[in-house]
Amino acid sequence: MYSLNGSHTRRDKVEARSLSPNSSLDEQAVPFLAHDTELEKGLVEENCLAKKYLYVNISLLILSVIFFLGSVIVQSRRFGDKECATHLSAYSPVMEAVEYEWVTFENEFSTAPTKYRGKPTADLEQAWTELWKYGAFPVGVQHLGDLNQSSEVDWRRVTPGDPRSPTVGLLEGFHQIHCLNLIRQYTYREEWDYSSEASWHGGPEMVRWHVDHCIETLRMNLMCTADVTPYLIWNDPAGFNGESPSFNTLHKCRKWEPIVEWVKQNVIFNGTAKEGEHGNGEEHHIGQHDVHEHGHTA
């Protein structure tokens, strides 16, 4: 009896142990549950990290777009017409007066004469004079290098003898108009008396030299600026070989009047030569007494 009861008791304990929540089966499952929990935790952390990187990348992309657009705006403002012109030109204090406008040239062969076109008259000669005959303006000595000029040269100064004084500057654009005007006058020299003008002093040989100098000046400038605007040809029954060129071409031009006004407002004197200095082969297109002869001052 004792042995049977003892055996039964041992069997009951075994069954009870096998059916207990703390059985060896549950104990074997615990490591898997812990592993699943760690895996889920790792996935959550990885997901959070991925979202964080996504937000960072989106933020960087937005900032990049903002910086790009900002730089485009800044560069577009920085490199407007005047900024580009300054970058592509030699130094000039007159650059601050430069303005631009679109102009379609009206220059057909049949175009009505302008105040600059045609045979000489007093009004036409005065109109040409008023295009270019203005005075000198100061150019700081610190800009000699910008103009590829040597500081060792004895340049004419606003205040003679003062090495710190600005040098005397004249506008190349005015010089070129003067040259074109002289060539125009030379073609009409048999129809108009130009002997009172300084450019015609020195005798026929000197005038011829001056004209050749002006032709070379305009050649160099035209080749330097190299206008690449196309002009077109249209079918014209009345034209030569049934065709005619159209010289009414579109250009972006510097406004002439603001440049003239700047020089007039900054003029220091109205001459390049002393009274009576002519015929020495130098350019005297705005010599003092030449200006006063025509009653025109800046």
Could you read off the pLDDT of 234-275 as tens digits, one per residue? 999 999 999 999 999 999 999 999 999 999 999 998 754 443
pLDDT-derived band at 46 (thresholds 50, 70, 90) equals confident
Overall average pLDDT of the 158-162 stretch:
94
pLDDT value, residue 35: 56
User: Which tokens hold the place of 51?
Assistant: 């979202």
> Which residue is associated with the tokens 């303006």?
137
pLDDT value, residue 41: 67
On the question of pLDDT at 31 being above 70, the answer is no
Report the range out of 6-15, 154-163, 209-218 with the highest average pLDDT: 209-218
Overall average pLDDT of the 110-115 stretch:
80
For residues 253, 254, 258 and 263, what is the CA-based torsion angle, rounded to 10 degrees? -140
Please give the Cα distance from 53 to 48 (Å, whole number). Answer: 9
**116, 283 in Cβ contact below 8 A?**
no
Q: Residues of the chain with pLDDT > 90: what percent?
A: 57
pLDDT value, residue 54: 79
On the question of pLDDT at 279 being above 50, the answer is no
**268, 283 in Cβ contact below 8 A?**
no
pLDDT tens digits, 282-296: 344 443 333 333 333
Which ranges of the chain does DSSP label H, i.e. alpha helix? 2-19, 24-78, 81-87, 122-132, 172-187, 203-225, 256-266, 288-293
pLDDT tens digits, 187-211: 999 999 999 999 999 999 999 999 9
Mean pLDDT of the chain: 81
Sign of dihedral through CA atoms 247, 90, 257, 254?
A: positive
On the question of pLDDT at 3 being above 70, the answer is no
DSSP state of 1: -
pLDDT value, residue 17: 47
Overall average pLDDT of the 154-173 stretch:
95
On the question of pLDDT at 123 being above 70, the answer is yes
SS3 246: strand
On the question of pLDDT at 18 being above 80, the answer is no
Q: What are phi and psi of 115, to 5 degrees?
A: -70, -5
Report the range out of 32-36, 46-50, 59-63 with the highest average pLDDT: 59-63
**278, 287 in Cβ contact below 8 A?**
yes
On the question of pLDDT at 83 being above 50, the answer is yes
Overall average pLDDT of the 124-145 stretch:
96
Overall average pLDDT of the 175-185 stretch:
98
* pTM, entire model: 0.68
Higher local confidence (pLDDT), 84 or 177: 177
User: Which tokens hold the place of 277?
Assistant: 């200095």
